[in-house]
Structure 1
Amino acid sequence: LYEKYIPDAQALRQSPEIQQYMWTGNLGPYELSSTTPGEAGDAIFERNDDYYMRDHVEESNVQVMDDGFAEAPYFERLLRDREPEQATLNERWRAGDGDRYVPDTDIIEELQQRDDTTVAEELSPFISMMFFNQRANGHPMLKSAEGRIAINSIVDKQVIVEDVKRGLEGPPAATYQPRWSQFYDDSLVTARGIGVENADIRAARDRIRELDGFSVEEV
């Protein structure tokens, strides 16, 4: 692709191949038709008549395939909105705007009570993340790697899954490589924040005691 636009880098950046993601190729059930750039906007996808999975239904080793993909995909067009604010997404759903969205766990119980909404659990092969401030300007202890390790060692991810995420997400992970992957090597993983025990708490206190200017007050 870049050879077509040499030596004009700006022309490459503004090319339809880059702007419309045409350079990526497509093996999926839909093709990108148009998109509105920016954090908020929308993207329109058209049915891919050459979707390859239709030709592999019988030979697939995926048990759920069967005849479900024989004529897939089954929608001619998809419209996907990009909405950065979860609260706005929730309000739009309450107003009847949209056919499908991914809510936060704190609204699941409300959605389950709605007659116009079906809540479905979906398995995902991906690792999701929750962030908390570990920047050096957040707390003096965070300027040190040992301080960050001490904190991360006792933030119990299982408690977050059960009490914050209401048991609707998980299990907690220590790497981006899922446990069921053939490339996951448990002997090389330091599983901080998983199965936190008293020994982990004592080790975290010891790390903090060794930091200059910090001490631990037993309670």
Structure 2
Amino acid sequence: MNYVGEAIAYIFAAANWSGSLGIGRLLVQHIGYSLLGVAVAAAIGVPLGWWIGHTGRGRGAAIALAGAVRALPTLGLITLFGLALGVGLSAPMLAFIVLALPSVLAGAYTGIESADPVAVDGARASGMSEIQLLTRVEIPLGAPLLVGGLRSATLQVIATATLAAYTGAGGLGRLMFLGLKTQDYGMMLASSLMVIALALISELLFILLQRAVTPVGARNRKESP
């Protein structure tokens, strides 16, 4: 059967965009879950990463923790949290935060560590305090790597947010689980294609953002032959 044709027809059918299982509602939920998970991970990981990068303390522990977290199966985490917290959004959201945190943390501290030592030493020699050095020199210079960490985290969460439906929450995963249950593979593929489209749009936006936050001097060095 032509599942690709069925999937495209499902996406463009106006009747499938309304109601509790409408594409529009589930798409907004999926985007919301992804943004919330990354935002909470950023609220935790960015300040911690900046502190690690600036002071050099706890770097080994952060690397070990990030590696251990990356090895955890997301579905297993959702199941574990679901048993503890019950059905709904709480369990998958907690898993999304755990999933996003390593990439955000790594982007934050590697960004600070990558700051040009000459610029850092010059700023310190000019009498800048440690806070001024961090906020005026290291953070702006490290912004591209931080955005890279957020980019990776967002892509991971968008792809994994389909599992929110596993505990009865919303998102595009609802169509995947429903399609699997009813053997409507066109519906399943339609959901998959929309998740892929979201991931590609996210990648494009972060590429543009990463370029925008790259200091002009560094950008010119990359572009020069």
Larger Rg: 1
| Length-normalised TM-score, structure 1 | 0.23
Larger RCO (CA within 8 A; separation ≥ 6): 2
Q: 1 or 2, which has the higher strand percentage?
A: 1
| Length-normalised TM-score, structure 2 | 0.23
Q: 1 or 2, which has the higher helix percentage?
A: 2
